[in-house]
A and B are shown apart, each in its own frame.
Chain A
């Protein structure tokens, strides 16, 4: 296969994953959340149990008027949704789906790249918040910035723990080095990474920046139509990325009960959807954290715990 064809295949593959996985997760969220609340959820769109609800939503968003507030900083305001979306697309590029070559772009510093790129999200939040010329947007954006900067620390420390255990920064390398007993050894890091990841994508119970009952819709208040849809899409791609990272770093990626070489992609996808289900489950079950509780959890619980995990990892690594 010529290099350019391979490149196109890989990029198209990542793009397809980028466009379908969030929709599947979104649809699952609709249905799971509905059933957890004793409802049925969408039942009409598409005929069979509302499978096309999100497509219908997309069509609706496209038809909506694209409003930019008069006092808004127009270029920044218009650019923010793209800045929110693109990092996750780049992150999907380096997350391995299966063993060997089943990855958009194998990268030796994959973990470093993913964490750096996911960190760009805070820029999008601040851009949309400042550019909207709206006090609710600004409040939401500042909350978001404080939250994202705070939770970046336990996220990186937890990821560093597993990178230290595996002795590599390559995501594929980490999966290869992974052993089932790491589930126990790296369990605190996994919980910390998962919780910090939830906060990183501003999912309930960490949706203080959005907080629709007090801040209208946080930094997304002034957005309409397609740009708003981009923010929503970014949230769901965020779920996929965080679930995929948790899978790859802590749940053994393509390691499954049998046929890792052939069915690795299936095990990875199954784990990703299982983690995504837990993310939805937590959203339905728990109320939103207050701003001070949010910061307290980060600085007084997660950061010390992740440091302790780092020490534990180093000790075990040296002892072995």
Chain B
């Protein structure tokens, strides 16, 4: 105490000032059950499935570190008018995520090449029975309604890949687009 400079009792006054200042400033308590928390759009609450985008490529199930994604599918033939052969298409039968195993690493969302999986900030899906934490594809599809719009692009960040390629196409090679003739019999058929 004596080795510090300053008036005696300065520390006591400082202590009182700290508590008084804290008292007069707003408290940071969130009234959670009454007031919903404002979570950032990239919060990892629950994973939503956009079933239409899924091609059953199984990447998510294979990359999942704790193997909590279960996928079943079958092939269906789709007759395309004018095509030589009917096309084959994967139809999703089962897409389950077991949230009692999921560790919210988000690798499945990262690897999905067709944007079929999304993070949503919803987190209130606790269950009384651990079996109910296995969300099937309908349940996962319901979460899609809660997926927030992606955050606005950082004005100081690099432009996105799509933007740069679009800009490059728009500026530099106006020539190939102009030179390339329209496909059809009227063009003379110089290009393949």
Contact = CB atoms under 8 A, between A and B. Distances in A.
Interface of A: 32, 34-40, 43, 281-282, 284-286
B190 interface: no
B160 interface: no
15 contacts: A35-B23, A36-B23, A37-B22, A38-B25, A38-B28, A39-B27, A40-B29, A43-B31, A281-B16, A281-B19, A284-B19, A285-B15, A285-B16, A286-B12, A286-B15
B38 to A, nearest CB: 17
A36 B27 CA distance: 9
B19 A38 contact: no
B22 A285 contact: no
A171 to B, nearest CB: 29
Contacts, number: 32
A36 B29 contact: no
B21 to A, nearest CB: 9
**Which label, helix, strand, loop or mixed, suits the secondary structure of the A interface?**
helix
Interface string B26-67: 011101000000000000000000000000000000000000
B22 to A, nearest CB: 5
B84 interface: no
Nearest to A278: B16
Given A37-B22, A38-B22, 19 more contacts: A35-B23, A35-B27, A38-B25, A38-B28, A38-B29, A39-B27, A39-B29, A40-B27, A40-B29, A40-B31, A281-B16, A281-B19, A281-B20, A282-B16, A284-B19, A285-B15, A285-B16, A285-B19, A286-B12
Contact of A32 (B18, B23, B25, B28): B23
Contacts of B12: 286
A284 B17 CA distance: 11
Contacts of B19: 36, 281, 284-285
Contact of B18 (A35, A40, A285): A285
A38 B22 CA distance: 6
Interface in B1-25: 12, 15-16, 18-20, 22-23, 25
A249 B19 CA distance: 28
A35 B28 CA distance: 10
A212 B67 CA distance: 49
B22 A35 contact: yes
Nearest to A40: B29
Most buried by A among B15, B18, B19: B19
B27 to A, nearest CB: 5
Interface string B92-124: 000000000000000000000000000000000
A37 B29 CA distance: 10
A178 B21 CA distance: 34
Contacts of A34: 27
Contacts of B25: 38
B31 A36 contact: no
A35 to B, nearest CB: 4
Contacts of B27: 34-35, 38-40
Nearest to B17: A285
A317 B12 CA distance: 33
A140 to B, nearest CB: 26
B167 to A, nearest CB: 49
Contacts of B20: 36, 281
Contacts of B29: 38-40
Contacts of B31: 40, 43
Nearest to A284: B19
A285 B12 CA distance: 8
Contacts of B23: 32, 35-36
Contacts of A284: 19
Top 10 A-B pairs ranked by shortest CB distance? A36-B19, A285-B15, A36-B23, A40-B29, A35-B23, A285-B19, A38-B27, A284-B19, A285-B16, A36-B22
Most buried by B among A37, A43, A282, A285: A285
A5 B29 CA distance: 51
B125 to A, nearest CB: 25
Contacts of A282: 16
Nearest to A286: B15
A307 B128 CA distance: 69
A208 to B, nearest CB: 18
